[in-house]
Amino acid sequence: MKKHAGEYKPTINIRQSPHLIGPALFFVAAWLSICAVGLSLWLRPSQLLENALTTNFTIVTVHMLTLGFLTMTMFGVLYQWLPVVFDVVSASPSFMIAHFLVYGVGLLLFLLGFSAHHAMLLPFGALLMALSIVIFTIFALNRIMSSTRPWDELTWTVCIALFSINLTWIFGLAMVLGLSGLTSYLHLLPEHLNAAWVGWIIMLVLAVQIKLLPMFSLAKMHTLRPWLPIVLALTGWILQFARRWIPTLALPITLIWTLTALVVLWQIYSLSKHHQSPKWDTVFIGVALGWLLWLMAAIELLYDPSLTIALLVLGATTFVFTYQSRIVPFLLSLVMVRQIRHKEFSAFFMAQRFNSHLLPIINASLAFVISALIVWGMMQQIREPIAIAGIVIVFWPLIHVALMGYQIIVQRGFFLSRHRA
Please, what is the minimum distance in Å from the beta carbon of residue 180 to ligand HEM? 9
- Is 176 a binding residue for ligand HEM by CB under 6 A? The answer is yes
**Rounded to an integer, what is the distance from CA 386 to the centroid of its chain?**
22
User: Three-state SS across 11-61?
Assistant: CCCHHHCCCCHHHHHHHHHHHHHHHHHHHHHHHCHHHHCHHHCCCHHHHHH
**Quick check: 20 and 330 in contact, CB under 8 A?**
no
- Is 51 a binding residue for ligand HEM by CB under 6 A? The answer is no
Quick one: 175 or 389, whose CB is closer to ligand HEM? 175
Please, what is the minimum distance in Å from the beta carbon of residue 283 to ligand HEM? 23
Helix pair angle (250-273, 203-217), 10° resolution: 10
Q: Compute the distance between CA of residue 399 and CA of residue 402 in angstroms, rounded to an integer.
A: 5
Q: Among 49, 62, 97, 391, indicate the residue that binds ligand HEM (CB under 6 A).
A: 62
Quick one: 63 or 275, whose CB is closer to ligand HEM? 63
Quick one: 72 or 373, whose CB is closer to ligand HEM? 72
- Is 99 a binding residue for ligand HEM by CB under 6 A? The answer is no
Quick one: 179 or 234, whose CB is closer to ligand HEM? 179
**Quick check: 367 and 317 in contact, CB under 8 A?**
yes
* Segment interacting with ligand HEM, rule: CB under 6 A, options 175-183, 213-221, 287-295, 386-394: 175-183
Cα-only R_g, the chain: 21
* Segment interacting with ligand HEM, rule: CB under 6 A, options 126-134, 141-149, 246-254, 256-264: 126-134
Quick one: 207 or 336, whose CB is closer to ligand HEM? 207
Beta carbons within 8 Å of 181's beta carbon, 6+ residues apart: 119
Q: How many CB atoms lie under 10 A from the CB of residue 251?
A: 10
* Segment interacting with ligand HEM, rule: CB under 6 A, options 1-9, 86-94, 122-130, 250-258: 122-130
Q: Among 40, 46, 71, 254, indicate the residue that binds ligand HEM (CB under 6 A).
A: 71
Quick one: 196 or 259, whose CB is closer to ligand HEM? 196
What x-and-dash track marks residues 135-174 binding ligand HEM by CB under 6 A? ---------------------------------xx--xx-
Q: Compute the distance between CA of residue 207 and CA of residue 210 in angstroms, rounded to an integer.
A: 6
- Is 329 a binding residue for ligand HEM by CB under 6 A? The answer is no
- Is 318 a binding residue for ligand HEM by CB under 6 A? The answer is no
CA atoms within 13 A on the CB side of 319: 26
Number of residues that bind ligand HEM (CB under 6 A): 28
**Quick check: 275 and 281 in contact, CB under 8 A?**
yes
Taking CA atoms, 236 is separated from 250, 276, 290, 335, in Å, by 10, 34, 19, 41
Please, what is the minimum distance in Å from the beta carbon of residue 54 to ligand HEM? 5
- Give which of 393, 352, 382 is closest to 8, Cα–Cα: 352
**Quick check: 325 and 304 in contact, CB under 8 A?**
no
- Is 352 a binding residue for ligand HEM by CB under 6 A? The answer is no
Quick one: 189 or 372, whose CB is closer to ligand HEM? 189
| Near ligand HEM in 22-41, by CB under 6 A | none
Q: Compute the distance between CA of residue 20 and CA of residue 171 in angstroms, rounded to an integer.
A: 33
Q: Among 54, 148, 223, 248, indicate the residue that binds ligand HEM (CB under 6 A).
A: 54
Beta carbons within 8 Å of 247's beta carbon, 6+ residues apart: none
| Near ligand HEM in 294-313, by CB under 6 A | 309
Q: Compute the distance between CA of residue 369 and CA of residue 189 in angstroms, rounded to an integer.
A: 30
Quick one: 80 or 308, whose CB is closer to ligand HEM? 308
Comparing every residue's Cβ against ligand HEM, the nearest one is 172
Residues that bind ligand HEM (CB under 6 A): 53-54, 58-59, 62-63, 66-67, 70-71, 126, 129-130, 168-169, 172-173, 175-176, 179, 189, 192-193, 196-197, 200-201, 309
